[in-house]
Structure 1
Amino acid sequence: MSAPDRAQEPGVLRAIFEDVGSGVFATDATGRLIAVNPRGERIVARPAAGMLGHDLHDLLHRTADGDPVPREECRMLRTLRDGHPREGGDEYLLRGDGTTVPIIWAASGLRLPGEPPGLVFTFHDFSVRRAAERQTAAHLAVLESLTRRLTLVTEISSVLISCLDVSRALRETSRLLVPELADWTAVDVYAGHDRDGARRIAVHGRDGTGAVEAVDLEGPLPPLPRESGSFLARALRGTGPVRLTADDLARVPDSPLVAAYRNLFERLGGRSAVVVPLHSRRQVFGALTVARTGEARPFGEDETAVLADIGRRAGLAMDNARLFDQQRHVAETMQRQLLTPLPQTDHLRMAARYRPAQVAAEIGGDWYDAFLLADGATTMIIGDVVGHDLRAAAHMAEVRNMLRALAWDRQEPPSLIMRRLDEAMTNTSDAPMATVVFARIEGAEGGPWRLHWVNAGHPPPLLVTRDGEVRWLESGHGPLLGMSSTLHLGTHWPDAHEELPPESTVLFYTDGLVESRDRPIDTGMDLLARHATALARHDLEDFCDELLERIDPRGDDVALLAMRLPPYGAGSPGDHTPPPGGRSAHNPADPSRSAPGAEALDADEVFTEAPHGSERPPLP
């Protein structure tokens, strides 16, 4: 028997009907069931005997909730009426136990000999796949929520790490939490462990149009009593978040500070909240309050954990900022102690500036110095020891003090003092190489004046006349300190002299002013000369400030030392012209320090009347 003939055998057709992996129902032209296969019985959990003769739609077709589906909306019956095949995947059948089962189905006409067309309805149980889809959707929703929260934490961490202004970083953190995790937030910061000096620095909420700031709710807060047992006390005395419900918020406050919190909730609303301490391992710095209003669900464990992590990160940022401020204060104090107050002798005027390379360091190897020598001359010194840290500052102090002692000890030309300084550095100090310009301002009272200097590998000083002519003082140049004696080069430093015109300006500076990564030194020196010309007639203090403002040096320490000469004859015997006025001298050094040599003279004499130059008698 051929295969086509075999396929027509009743036994083969019966086997297919009974063993196929799909449920199969057959109806007559009225929609009543005339055949049910075993797979169909199992899917709807009903025996065939109890279904045969019943209307397929009325007996089995339901909504997902088990409600009857109107007959005119049944797509399966449409196939029974018009004979067109249909299929779908969003239908439910009523099981024998009263539950519904989702199915995917196909319907086609059934042609029976001598009878009107009926219906063949095949279907599969879709519940397992539907459950898998729901589970997958739930997992995706959790992953999306986790991704959003991780993104939020990452963004907040970036703000806390990159912003040196902690108050600004906390305000930005408060803003970022709305509306992702909360309807409003508040940040309170406390001074000290006793919670005195509390202040609310940020309140962020949202209305129908978006985020808003409740600035009127910011400001000072009452102290928190030590005996308080409120939710706020629990948060601030521990290291974990405190979740609040509407009942918690309705309790009578036990302190003015808690009453201030109640006012916050009354103004902005709130059905649930979390108070998170802003803490490090050593200290609680404040609290972050995060609240939800209206019908929003309370905070869950996972959300509370995220907020606790944000509070810990904010606390670490605050702790780091506190340590940074302490270190900066120590470094600034040390640097100001190392810098020298300037003597203002006769009608000469001096000004100095110091700018560190890095805000975090506030200290480095650049320095300036100026003091009166035993023979009455005034010194000008600028120097730079390799480095930008505390080690460089310590070496700078060594070199500076050695140079001071050598310059005071003997009345020698600058070249000999520089040679002895080089030998002293090599044999008594571990200071690395350094550059220095050491100069004497020599001359009688009232002028003329002469600059006598030596240069150990440093950028040349700049002379600026009253009319704006500039001249680089490039003579007197020798090797860096620490090279000649160490390498036994036998080199020396030649003395140089330059007559100084009345009312001219002499500028000493370190290379940070004229050189940077994006600007070669030649370009920087041209820029310095151009600006110095334009500023020649400015007050000396303005001259220094404007130079720094216009050049805007970056990437290295910068020290400036400038001297302005008076008109010829000013300060000479018989001249009663008062010293030049103008702005008070800006002093980068510690204000408690006095200029070198002030102990040997009356303070007023040092700053207003002290003579200078070769004709001045030695100090006692």
Structure 2
Amino acid sequence: MMADRGDIAHRPDGSGGQPQEWLLRAAFDGTGMGIYLTDPAGHITWANPAAATLLGFPTDELRGADAHDMLHRRLDGTLPPRSGCELVTVCREGRSVRSEFATFATAGGSLLPVSWLASPLDPDGEPAGVVVVFIDIVERLDAAGRQAEQLVRAQKLTEQFRLLTELSAVLTQTLDVNEAMTRLGRLLVPRLADWAAVDMFLGPRDLRRLAVAASGVEPVDPSWFAELPSLPKGASRSALVRVLRGEQALLLGPEQIAAPPDGPLAAAHDALFNVLGGSSAIVAPLRTPRRVLGALTVARTSATRPYTEADVDLVADIARTAALAADNACLFGQQRDIVDTMQRHLLTPLPQVDHLQLAARYLAAPAGSQVGGDWYDAFVLPDGVTAIAIGDVAGHDLEAAGQMAQLRNMLRALACDHKESPSLILDRLNKVMAVASDVPTASVILARIEPPRPGGEPDTRMLRWTSAGHLPPLLVTAHGQARYLEEGQSLLLGVHLDDVARRDALVPLPPGSTLLLYTDGLVEVPGTNLDTSLARLRRHAGTLARSSLHDFCEEVLALAPSPRTDDIALLALRLPPPGR
């Protein structure tokens, strides 16, 4: 028997043969795919066991049934019209049709997701019916569903990572606490919340609301930013109070939001929900490793989109990032207060002697510690001559400020102790710097405003100066003629070349003229030619010859680059008019 069956597929002579009926039946019965045949009218004439198993109908019950009425269903379980059924058109049009997704009705009343292929039967050229082969795609859909869920989770994690990255970038662009927290609110609304609020301690007991952002509310009520009540001494069920006392982020549902407040601070928090609404909220601490700075509240007003525990983790991460930015801003503010005081003490008041007018201005760089290496000085020497100086140590931070103070004080001491020309004083300073200072290099102008020369014009004083790599002084006459004093240039301080001598320059200062010393922050603009900026300053200063010295300085500062990247120091000297 086994030998006979082995000869069915091919005859011994190698010519093709037709499978016997029992082999075809075994093939149809043993496959895992459902197969059924219909006559031209669509009635099932035969079904294999796999079809009966998948559909839950006995084979005898399937035989003779109208395939369309018995099996075909829409996704909602309703019977589609026969006229639009793709399976019905197979026999009528004589072409194969395939569907990757359809639903068949089962004996239990459920829907079976299937993928099917239907082909017409026409062995003699006449339509004899249709063969339908289908497979169960439940496992495939489950796998696709799992993949879709994983994709959704991955997309959500990517979006959260993008939000945290953007948040870090935005918050680190400012060192102002109020501005940072305002940016935080704008970033979260409406992306993550319908409204958000930030409450922070600005002192041991000074709790304030720094930011409120709400969808469709612009501008927000100024009263929301008033000082908040202090933390209560006793226990409180308020989420804000609990978080400010050190608890982790809290998820609030409608019941917690609707609960009556149990104290003034809770009432101030509750007032936001009364005005802006809220059916779900998260209150997270603005916490650093050192302390709790405040709290972030985010809320959603729609009950169809409540926050989940996963959202709590995200908001907690956001609050931690914001807390670090706020802490840095607070530390910067404290440092700025210290260095502002330091700057005021380093830049001493200007003397007013011998009918000379002196005025100075200092603008710190907008970034860094708001104090830097630019400086000016004016003082009266033991011989009665007024000395003026301006300089620039590289950098605009605390280190540059300290180096500037060293250089300025050493220059003052050397100028007062040695009755020498400015060039010799700078030579001495250059040697002292090498052993008594950590200043690497610096540019400096040192000048003496000397009385009129014997036999010269009685109202014309003399300027004796030297420049160690600094930008040239600008002299503006009372008639508006302006020119740069290019003489007296030599090497930067910190550069030691024995064969290069410093030299002095001597020019008359006409009565009523104005001498301007300045640092490079006034004229150097990245990407712009320096000569162009100097020419612009010269032309503008010429128009200010008859302005008061105060207005002269203010108008010159108006030429400063915007945005600025460096410190600016100005020192202006106005000579008395003729006869004074």
Instruction: Please give the TM-score of this superposition, normalised by the length of structure 2.
Output: 0.86
Mapping of 1:17-416 within 5 angstroms? 17-28=28-39, 31-64=42-75, 75-77=86-88, 79=90, 85-110=96-121, 117-194=128-205, 196-199=206-209, 201-206=211-216, 214-215=220-221, 218-220=224-226, 221-227=228-234, 228-238=236-246, 240-357=248-365, 359-416=367-424
How far the C-alpha of 1:44 sits from its partner, in A, is: 2.1
Gap change, CA 1:516 and 1:29, over 3 Å in 2: closer
- The one-letter amino acid paired with 1:525 is L
1:282 to 1:471, Cα distance in 2 relative to 1, 3 A: same
After TM superposition, list the pairs within 5 Å mapping 1:465-476 onto structure 2: 465-476=477-488
Structure 1, 500-509 or 388-397: larger mean CA deviation = 388-397
Identity of aligned residues (%): 46
SS in 2 for 1:243: strand
Contact 2:99-2:116 within 8 A present in 1 as well: yes
Could you say what secondary structure the match of 1:7 adopts? coil
* CA displacement, residues 424-478 of structure 1 (integer Å, 9 cap, x when unaligned): 3345444434433322223379944222333344333222110011243344444
Deviations along 1:54-108, whole A, 9 cap, x unmatched? 4444544445565666667655455567766544344323334553311122344
Asked whether the 8 Å contact 2:200–2:210 carries over to 1, the reply is: yes
What is the CA-CA distance between 1:321 and the residue it aligns to? Answer: 0.5
Q: By how many angstroms is 1:487 displaced?
A: 4.3
**Contact 2:523/2:561 (<8 A) preserved:** no
C-alpha contact (below 8 Å) 1:463/1:504 kept by paired residues: yes
Change (3 A) 1:157 1:426: closer
Secondary structure of 2:215's aligned partner: strand
1:509-532 CA deviation, whole Å, 9 max, x = no partner?
A: 234434454345444433332222
Give the aligned partner of residue 497 of structure 1.
Answer: 506
Contact preservation (8 Å) 1:203, 1:218: no
Matched-pair contact (CA < 8 Å) for 2:364–2:371:
yes
SS in 1 for 2:323: helix
- Gap runs ≥5 in structure 1: 571-620
Preserved CA contact (<8 Å) 2:524 2:530? yes
Output the CA distance in 2 between the equivalents of 1:32 and 1:493.
Answer: 114
Cα gap change, 1:217 to 1:105, in 2 (>3 Å) = farther
**RMSD of equivalent CA atoms:** 3.3
Structure 1 counterpart of 2:464: 452
Q: Tell me what 1:550 maps to.
A: 559
Q: CA deviation at 1:257?
A: 2.2
SS at match of 2:350: coil
- Check whether the contact 1:205–1:213 (CA below 8 A) recurs between aligned residues: no
Q: What displacement does 1:341 show?
A: 0.9
One of 528, 534, 540 as aligned partner of 1:531: 540
Separation in 1 of the partners of 2:493 and 2:264?
66
Q: Which residue of 2 aligns with 1:11?
A: 22
Q: Counterpart of 1:124 in structure 2: which amino acid?
A: I
Partner of 2:345: helix, strand, or coil?
Answer: helix
The answer for the alignment partner of 1:617 in structure 2 is none
Amino acid at match of 1:560: L
Q: What CA distance in whole angstroms lies between the structure 1 residues aligned with 2:246 and 2:570?
A: 51
Q: Structure 1 residues 259 and 66 mapped into 2: Cα distance closer, same or farther (>3 Å)?
A: same
- What amino acid is the match of 2:322? A
Provide the residue aligned with 1:463 in structure 2: 475
CA shift at 1:547, angstroms?
1.6
Number of positions where the alignment pairs a residue of Structure 1 with one of Structure 2? 561
For residues 127 and 531 of structure 2, the distance between their equivalents in structure 1, rounded to whole angstroms, comes to 105
**One-letter code aligned to 1:219:** F
Quick one: which amino acid aligns to residue 568 of structure 1?
Answer: P
SS at match of 1:299: coil
1:304, distance to aligned residue in structure 2 (A): 1.6
Give, as a single letter, the amino acid of the residue that structure 2 aligns with 1:287: A
Task: Give, in angstroms, the shift of residue 505 of structure 1.
Answer: 0.7
SS in 1 for 2:302: coil
Structure 2 CA distance for partners of 1:45 and 1:493, relative to 1, 3 Å: same
Query: What is the deviation of 1:482?
Result: 4.4
Single out whichever of 558-567 and 215-224 deviates more from structure 2.
Answer: 215-224
SS of residue matched to 1:371: strand
Distance of aligned partners of 1:555 and 1:15 in 2 relative to their CA distance in 1, 3 Å threshold: same
Deviations 1:505-564 (A, max 9, x none): 112223443445434544443333222212211111221222222243854433221110
**Which residue number in structure 2 is paired with residue 574 of structure 1?**
none
